[in-house]
């Protein structure tokens, strides 16, 4: 049942983005870019780090005890919901986008980036949910897994965060904003953690 609920959340959040695309289409976008963003080169090979996001988001389903402990599962799910709810409010009130140029070359990485651009509108981008969710999962790992495993999740979150800028999916400002969102969601969802169970 919990796995089905998790899959339902994934479908809801994913389809929600298509709805947001339609809602924001034609709106005036705010510019959160800076001069440094224009100096960051496009690095198509980073698409593979970017795609780490997807297995990272479902990884908590395999964390010890998450599916067995109702209170823990509900808190973990609530953290995801808090992130998406807060982000959607920001997306609607403060819409942002990132224009993307041509992706040169015909390597698998370049083709993968062009494929991503074809399905992703480039908005909304602030804060980055790729960063928020990755940091959130790393925080969960720090509480539920041995330190060595938790360190791997934080490293994966750092790779995902860097990739968002290097494949021109996000501006630099989207990274700290996403990280703060992930940390805040974890803090709220797991407030009074020691009283669990």
CA distance linking residue 98 with residue 82, whole number of Å: 24
CA distance linking residue 91 with residue 175, whole number of Å: 15
Question: In this predicted model, which residue has the larger pLDDT, 50 or 65?
Answer: 50
pLDDT at 63 over 80: yes
Length of the chain in residues, anyone? 197
- Joined together, the tokens standing for residue 153 give 């999740």
Question: In this predicted model, which residue has the larger pLDDT, 84 or 8?
Answer: 84
Mean pLDDT of the 8-32 span? 68
Specify whether the CB–CB gap between 170 and 125 falls below 8 A. yes
Q: What is the pTM of this model?
A: 0.89
| pLDDT score at 109 | 96
Per residue in 78-105, pLDDT (tens digit) is: 999 999 999 999 998 999 989 888 899 9
Specify whether the CB–CB gap between 97 and 125 falls below 8 A. yes
Q: What is the DSSP string of 17-32?
A: HHHHHHHHTTPPPBP-
CA distance linking residue 33 with residue 97, whole number of Å: 10
Cis peptide bond prior to 80, omega within 30° of 0: no
- Joined together, the tokens standing for residue 94 give 């403060």
pLDDT at 139 over 50: yes
For residue 109, give the nearest of 50, 69, 23 by alpha carbon.
50
CA distance linking residue 175 with residue 126, whole number of Å: 8
CA distance linking residue 192 with residue 185, whole number of Å: 14
- 24: confidence class by pLDDT, cuts 50, 70, 90: low
Specify whether the CB–CB gap between 111 and 44 falls below 8 A. no
């Amino acid at each position: 049942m919990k796995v089905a609920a998790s899959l339902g959340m994934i479908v809801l959040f994913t389809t929600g983005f298509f709805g947001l695309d339609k809602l924001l289409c034609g709106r005036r976008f705010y510019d959160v870019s800076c001069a440094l963003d224009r100096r960051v080169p496009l690095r198509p090979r980073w698409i593979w780090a970017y795609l780490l996001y997807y297995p990272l988001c479902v990884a908590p389903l395999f964390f010890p005890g998450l599916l067995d402990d109702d209170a823990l599962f509900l808190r973990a799910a609530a953290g995801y919901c808090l992130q998406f709810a807060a982000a959607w409010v920001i997306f609607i009130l403060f819409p942002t986008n990132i224009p993307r140029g041509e992706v040169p070359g015909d390597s698998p990485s370049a083709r993968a980036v062009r494929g991503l651009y074809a399905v992703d509108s480039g908005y909304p981008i602030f804060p980055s949910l790729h960063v928020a969710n990755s940091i959130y999962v790393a925080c969960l790992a720090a509480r539920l897994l041995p330190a060595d495993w938790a360190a791997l999740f934080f490293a994966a979150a750092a790779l995902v965060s860097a990739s968002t800028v290097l494949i021109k999916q996000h501006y630099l400002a989207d990274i700290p904003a996403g990280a703060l969102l992930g940390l805040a969601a974890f803090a709220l969802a797991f407030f009074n953690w020691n009283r669990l169970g």
